[in-house]
Amino acid sequence: MPNKAMDEKLILIVLDGCRYDTALEQMGVLNHFVAHHQATLIKLIAEMPSNSRPLYEVLATGVPSYRNGILTNGHVRRSKEVSIFDLVKEAGGITGAAAYYWQSELFNEAPYDIARHRIQHDEKNAIQHGIFYSEDHYPDSHVFADANYIIQTYAPHFMLIHSMNIDDVGHKFTAASREYAATVNQADAILGMCLPTWLEQGYQILVTADHGMDDKGLHGGSLAAHREVPLFIFSSKFPENSGIQQMNQLELAPLICNLLEIDASGNMQIGTTRGQIS
């Protein structure tokens, strides 16, 4: 049963490797909601280095890599920063994740051991209810099914859903490929099956990416293809006329705290848009 100490609840969906322009071109369901004023689309500028593990840390903590110490995918350790998971727990809320195993390593325990960490239910953890996978081609449809199980069973106040197929296909075929576009399109179709139910259940929903992908099948650098990612916001608390067209990725964590009506951590980076809703 949900903890009554928190009223607001939010799902953060991270489509690993999904670049902004491809989301505009291929995500008809999400852009339909924007066209009908049911959601807001903002261009999010990913931090550098535009690689996965550093940006998982940034998304959850709002702390830049030079300060948090997660500079490469090879930094395998638990985060030293206060994450959104920690803040929700402190506020009396419930946390959950259906995500790639690096999320478990960052916010629960490292290194990942599939025998012990594949399915986790422990109220002492930062991520209290988690289903984690370790194969990049683990189907997105399964990730969202895992997520729906956690949502319907444990009613988390903050839920992370993190899929990998877009990134996996982008590395194999490049972002210029039909395969990459088709995988983004398929993720949009999966979201079309899930979002109405979760919205009806009172969840605010953010859909974004950690980084993009270039036409050589790479990311990690400073190209727009690496750094420009979508941020779709489904929340009555975020005004459509906010005037915000672009945000820095560091601002997402404090924005999530604002939407959840909990205090941000002292280390979260708040820039020109302040992560605030006026």
Instruction: Grade residue 1 by pLDDT with cuts at 50, 70 and 90.
Output: very low
pLDDT of residue 272: 45
pTM of the shown model:
0.95
Burial 149-184 (b: 16+ CB within 10 A, else e): ebbeebbbbbbbbbbbbbbbbbbebbbbbeebbebb
Q: What is the mean pLDDT of residues 33-57?
A: 98
Q: Give the pLDDT confidence of 161-207 residue by residue, as tens digits.
A: 999 999 999 999 999 999 999 999 999 999 999 999 999 999 999 99
The token pair at 9 is 């609840």
Is the CB of residue 155 less than 8 Å from the CB of residue 2? yes
Domain assignments of the chain as residue spans, ordered by start: 10-260
Is 258's pLDDT higher than 90?
yes
pLDDT, tens digit (0-9, with 9 covering 90-100), for 36-45: 999 999 999 9
Q: Give the tokens for residue 209.
A: 């990416």
- The second-level CATH assignment, the architecture, of 10-260 is 3-Layer(aba) Sandwich (3.40)
Question: What pLDDT does residue 270 have?
Answer: 63
Give me the pLDDT at residue 240, please. 79
Distance from chain centroid for Cα 183 = 17
Residue 213 reports pLDDT greater than 70: yes
> Where residue 22 falls among pLDDT bands split at 50, 70, 90?
very high
φ, ψ dihedrals at 248, nearest 5°: -80, 140
Contact (CB, 8 A) for 32 and 225: no
On average, the pLDDT of the chain sits at 95
- pLDDT value at position 277? 39
